[in-house]
Amino acid sequence: MGSIDITTTLASLPDDFDWGFATASYQIEGGVAEGGRGPCIWDTFCHLEPTRTKGANADVACDHYRRYEEDFDLLQKYGAPSYRFSLSWSRIIPIGGRNDPINEAGIDFYNRLIDALLARDIVPWVTLHHWDLPLGIHDRYGGWLNVEESQADFEHFARLCYERFGDRVKHWITLNEPWIISVFGYSSGINAPGRSSTNPEASEGDSTREPWTVGKALIMSHARAVNVYNKEFRQTQKGVIGISLNGDYYEPWDASEPKDTEAAERRMQFHIGWFANPIFLKQDYPECMRQQLGDRLPTFSADDMAILQEAETDFYGMNYYTGQFARHISGPADQNDFKGNVDELQDDKEGRPVGTKSGLGWLRSCPDLFRKHLTRVYRLYGKPIYITENGCPCPGEATMTREESVQDTYRQQYFADHLDAICKSISEDGSDIKGYLAWSLMDNLEWSDGYGPRFGVTFTDYNTLERTPKQSALLLGKMIESRKKSAVQASQ
């Protein structure tokens, strides 16, 4: 295995196209009981017996809490102009609530991170919330299950972050993947807080209603955080604010079957429209959700809609990894269904795979569907797109040695193919795509999958915590530069 040819005949990235790498606080920081940090729901979830995270926890993780200077030296070595990271809410407000004490040591920690990035001329992209809800407010009132309390507490947390960091942070993301929070946390229960009425490992929850309640809490929390920024900070701080939504692209399982074509679109409405329609179009949930879910889907009051109407979000943060086929299901939807009454498959009716296999069963490389996804989202929602996550583990990488892992040809090809998809969506489809933040800077805790899958461009030895750059880390910047418009002009 070796490096790939990074050259391309496609060159349509704008000269100011931004790029870098992304992480999340809980997956890399460690130091869970240090510096005044309070517990979050993942701390509890990772220590359940029997384990629901393959025996893994984030007590130490990658020890970024102590090693951030070393990690930022790597970013500088890779030539990355930007870096996306998230704040641990419970490191800043240990209990989490709007009337609870602030932890100045936690704020100092993030000030040091931000200043260390700026000292290296790396632009900080800050995600306010990446799944690690403070345990204190989860225990106090149910966390996201309490729509009114949670959005008020999140608004307070957002305002505090703007106040303390917004003089230097100009790129904000309110929430990471509200679909995952809602569905994996409160329907399937495979993520913290692990609530579910369908998962035998869960002891409490209602999969028929809770994910939809949580979804509304997250939508309103985003809107409240945007409004605070726009009203109180934008004029002086002059930053931008968005949200990162995950979603696969779906093709019909049987291209000649209209019901499968409808199923593919319906699946994407349940995946993306659930959040993007209220946030970007400032309207109710997709009609197909209303039809299937009925009164289980919360309504937006007149006051809610006024908040949503006022919340002007600057960009669409896209987290994309793979595509799938959708096949319609005959008959009524199950009460626990969150997909839009469809089957998800990786091969179509003719047995053709959606893409090449990666190191995880659910993730196939299908850059042609990435292009369709980019173009669909831009045409529907009309906002500039930043890809805020995209990446993969190589086939077999979970059991590779360090020497094998750094020769990450599959990842290099994945990056190159997906960058070409961006070029096509821009040049041929007219999409406005502003940047690309690859997932992830380093191998880390992959949530309920533990420390098996390796998404990093840096190999992490979990015994010694030594970091080793993989070939993709050093090539991504060259791939992007070769795809910029100026690269064509320079060669002419």
Superfamily of domain 18-491: Glycosidases (3.20.20.80)
Strand 123-129 and strand 82-86: pairing?
parallel
* CA separation for the pair 362, 200 (Å, rounded): 22
Strand 364-365 and strand 82-86: pairing?
unpaired
Amino acid making up residue 261: T
* CA separation for the pair 216, 151 (Å, rounded): 10
21 in Cβ contact with 469 (< 8 Å): no
Predicted local confidence at residue 488, as pLDDT: 56
Structure tokens that stand for 20 in this block: 């870098």
State the residue for tokens 């008959």: 331
Cross-strand pairs, 82: 20, 123
Strand 323-328 and strand 342-345: pairing?
antiparallel
Structure tokens that stand for 3 in this block: 């490096």
Q: Kindly report the CA angle at 368 between 366 and 374, in degrees rounded to 5?
A: 105
* CA separation for the pair 261, 333 (Å, rounded): 17
Could you tell me how far CA 65 lies from the centroid of its own chain?
21
Structure tokens that stand for 153 in this block: 């507490």
> Residue 199: CB partners within 8 Å, gap ≥ 6?
188, 189, 190, 205
DSSP string, 341-398: SEEEESB-TT--BSSEE-SSTT-EE-HHHHHHHHHHHHHHH---EEEEE---PPTTGG
* CA separation for the pair 457, 268 (Å, rounded): 29
> Residue 458: CB partners within 8 Å, gap ≥ 6?
74, 441, 442, 443, 467, 468, 469, 470, 473
Say what the pTM is: 0.98
pLDDT, block means (10 residues), the chain with 492 residues: 73 96 98 98 98 98 98 98 99 98 98 98 99 98 98 99 99 99 98 98 98 99 99 98 98 98 98 98 98 98 98 98 98 98 98 98 98 98 98 98 98 98 98 98 98 98 98 98 76 52
66 three-class SS = helix
Distances (CA, A) of 354 to 341, 345, 421: 20, 9, 15
Predicted local confidence at residue 1, as pLDDT: 44
Predicted local confidence at residue 324, as pLDDT: 98
Predicted local confidence at residue 6, as pLDDT: 77
Closest CA to 280 of 303, 314, 304: 314
* CA separation for the pair 260, 252 (Å, rounded): 5
19 burial type by CB count under 10 A (0-12 exposed, 13-18 middle, 19+ buried): buried
Strand 458-460 and strand 467-469: pairing?
antiparallel
Structure tokens that stand for 174 in this block: 């309110």
What residues are labeled active site?
177, 389
